[in-house]
Amino acid sequence: MIRLDGISKSYGDVTALHSIDLTIKDGEFIAILGPSGCGKTTLLKLLAGFMKPTSGTITINDTVVASAEAVLPPEKRNIGMVFQSFALWPHMTVYEHVQFPLMHHSFAPKADKEQREERVKNVLRMVGLESLAQRYPHELSGGQKQRVSLARAIAPEPGLLLMDEPLSALDAELRMEMRKEIQHIHRHTNASIVYVTHDQSEAFAMADRIVVMNHGKIEQIDRPEMIFTRPETEFVATFVGKCNLIQGKWEEKMFIPKPFPNEKWPDIGVSINLKKKGLYPVRPDQWALSKAKEGSSHGVVKFVQYQGKEMYYIVQVGEEEWTVHELIQHTSRFQVGDPVNLVLQNTVIKKEAVLV
């Protein structure tokens, strides 16, 4: 178990992390999600032991490994690392890359030559590189290189695997394939994984819990479905899945939207924080559009884009612009300038809310 208590990190005048508290359970897959500059890499570097925090402590299994006074360096920690840039050695074959940490990593299980060879073969099989064992990095594709860097990281059976945007250098198809690979590896090792990304779909697809960060602070730590259906803050609501935040007032358990004072919307599990601010989050696909008469409509279509499976609309409602996604089979198409009504569809969110 890894625990961060009140971790802050400043680089001169810049405070990259503000008092972070986080617990990572054994075998857990944590994704750190947030915009550029929010402190994701800084958090990963502190977990790896590359630098000291400005304040706070990091504890692994009840031993303090980092504080403002001292830090246990990376080579003395049982961790594996995978970077966006692969970081392979040009003079080593695939086989040698995977064997290297088994011979030099102080935490690698003690093994004789035969056991070591067996482990290298097993790991190469796990990442589908058996037949390429004698190749050098320049003879590999991007996806194959990233597999080598994954294999090297997991070979010594680390307790913690740190990954910094490991798929961002790959094309879309390979990224999907490597996601499966990483999930497979997670299932077949006991390692906890901390996975830094700014790709939301990656975090949603793989993580047990997602940590959403903004400006060096944690906005929410939760299971992916909770982050999506129960955003705690305005930032999470708008950053993850692009919610429309509708203003209005809460009366008992019903929400009266300011633009439509005759309507009452049910509480589908809106966070206390959003309630206090008189906000109601609506996902773009929770709206359905219907035809309306000019002069008595909720709003007017301002922008239309065909996106294959769905239509993407921006609807002007008073001073505001709301985003609407409708599946093609459910919709008659609207044009820019059409007066429309917006009908709230709650079914999806309600189902989630019952789970909690």
Question: Which residues contact ligand ATP (rule: CB under 6 A)?
Answer: 11, 14, 16, 34, 36-42, 198
CA torsion 271→277→278→281, rounded to 10°? Answer: -50
Give the nearer residue to ligand ATP in terms of CB position, either 43 or 311: 43
Q: Are 246 and 66 in contact (CB under 8 A)?
A: no
Nearest distance from C-beta of residue 196 to ligand ATP, angstroms: 7
Nearest distance from C-beta of residue 22 to ligand ATP, angstroms: 15
**Enclosing H/E stretch for 161:** strand 160-164
Give the nearer residue to ligand ATP in terms of CB position, either 14 or 68: 14
Nearest distance from C-beta of residue 58 to ligand ATP, angstroms: 16
Give the nearer residue to ligand ATP in terms of CB position, either 189 or 197: 197
In this structure, which long-range contacts are made by residues 177-185, counting pairs with CB atoms below 8 Å and at least 24 apart in sequence?
Answer: 177/143, 178/143, 178/146, 178/147, 179/205, 179/206, 181/127, 181/128, 181/147, 181/150, 182/150, 182/206, 184/126, 185/126, 185/127, 185/150, 185/154
Cα separations in angstroms, 166 against 44, 82, 272, 334: 13, 6, 35, 41
Tokens of 150: 């994954």
Q: Are 83 and 161 in contact (CB under 8 A)?
A: no
Nearest distance from C-beta of residue 338 to ligand ATP, angstroms: 40
Cα separations in angstroms, 60 against 5, 45, 81, 109, 186: 11, 15, 17, 19, 20
Cα separations in angstroms, 184 against 141, 187, 190, 196: 21, 5, 12, 18
Q: Are 192 and 1 in contact (CB under 8 A)?
A: no
Give the nearer residue to ligand ATP in terms of CB position, either 168 or 345: 168
Give the nearer residue to ligand ATP in terms of CB position, either 198 or 264: 198
Give the nearer residue to ligand ATP in terms of CB position, either 24 or 38: 38
Nearest distance from C-beta of residue 14 to ligand ATP, angstroms: 5
Give the nearer residue to ligand ATP in terms of CB position, either 11 or 306: 11
Nearest distance from C-beta of residue 51 to ligand ATP, angstroms: 9
Nearest distance from C-beta of residue 79 to ligand ATP, angstroms: 18
